[in-house]
Amino acid sequence: MQIKDLRYTENFSLSQFTSLGFFTTSIHLPPIHSPPTTLSHIHLCVVTTTNYTEEGWPRVKGRRTVNMAAPQAEAAPNQETFVLVRTTLPRQPFPASATRPAVTTDRLILRPFSPSDLDALHVLRTQPEVMVWTGLGRADHDLAETQAKLNLYLPPNDATTFNCAICLRETGEFVGAGGCHNRTSSVGWPEVGYMFKEEVWGKGMGTEFLKGFLQMWRELPRKEVTLRVDHRTIPKSVPENGGEAKVVEEQLIAVTASENDKSQHVLKKCGFEHALTWKEKDSRDITGETFIALPTYRYLLGRSE
């Protein structure tokens, strides 16, 4: 049953939509997202999502479907149409996690992951309220699933990921995780994301983490590279380069659910701006009728906060 106006059935609240996984992400925070050697600024992109049918109707199981306007969206990124650009990226491999210093903010410590973080990470990743905003869309089934995720941040995988455990400065309590977990996102640029335990939501820690992480990202050693990216991520102000690859400011992307207003507020507070929106089919829908819209935000690291 679909309701063709702004109503909902069975007194079904927005929070219940969220708990069922109606709003999804592939942080996808997602992500995502050091001053470059020769370029004056760096771009950061963040991408947001919402589910809707091809006709523009959101879809959940059974009768619990609400009519919401689907955002305007372009075609999904297609690597066959990617273009070469000259830019900068952090040198690879990333510094070994054992050599990465902890970064302290007003209330947080951003430190490398360690094997002893397994239990705390499992607590975070078994909170349905947290995981509904992730690409997985559900809590981890067991400790082994969390261990597989943690392994991505530990040696030898720390050579290709730049993530940190987020802890309270006063007590050392583990309250979240964040960083660059994917060097090549859907649009070709590195991807960044973060997640926090529900108990600390609404306290400004997302903003505090993101600003701290950006400082860590800026300080990584860089090199000039040639990279294949979605042409829509290239700012219109970038001039042609005589038939050669354009020189484009470095970007980092991240993805969050468009209904996750709190997370988007964090991003906007940090200076993000909309760059483009595309859509793609939701692979979790076996009918192939559900689409995900991905509004993408860009951030220029050279701007003043």
Domain chopping of the chain, boundaries: 14-300
Arithmetic mean of pLDDT over the chain: 77
Looking at the DSSP assignment, which residues form a beta bridge with residue 83? 229
Q: How confident is the model at residue 15, as a pLDDT?
A: 35
Check the CA dihedral 134-137-140-146 and report its sign. Answer: negative
Report which of residues 47 and 134 the model is more confident about: 134
For 70, the token pair is 């689907």
pLDDT digits (tens, 9 = 90+) for 270-295: 877 777 778 877 665 778 788 877 77
Percentage of residues in the chain having pLDDT higher than 70: 72
pLDDT digits (tens, 9 = 90+) for 94-106: 999 999 999 999 9
What are the backbone dihedrals phi and psi of residue 31, each rounded to the nearest 5 degrees, phi first? Answer: -145, -80
Residues 234-250 have a mean pLDDT of 90
Q: Which of 7-21, 61-75, 256-270 has the highest mean pLDDT?
A: 256-270
pLDDT band at 67 (very low <50, low <70, confident <90, very high): very low
Report which of residues 238 and 276 the model is more confident about: 238
Cβ atoms < 10 Å from Cβ of 35:
15
Q: How confident is the model at residue 47, as a pLDDT?
A: 44
CATH number for the region 14-300 comes to 3.40.630.30
pTM of the shown model: 0.74
Q: How confident is the model at residue 284, as a pLDDT?
A: 59
Report which of residues 200 and 259 the model is more confident about: 200
Q: How confident is the model at residue 65, as a pLDDT?
A: 29
Q: How confident is the model at residue 285, as a pLDDT?
A: 73
Residues 107, 68: Cα–Cα separation, whole Å = 38
Report which of residues 153 and 266 the model is more confident about: 153
pLDDT digits (tens, 9 = 90+) for 14-25: 333 333 333 333
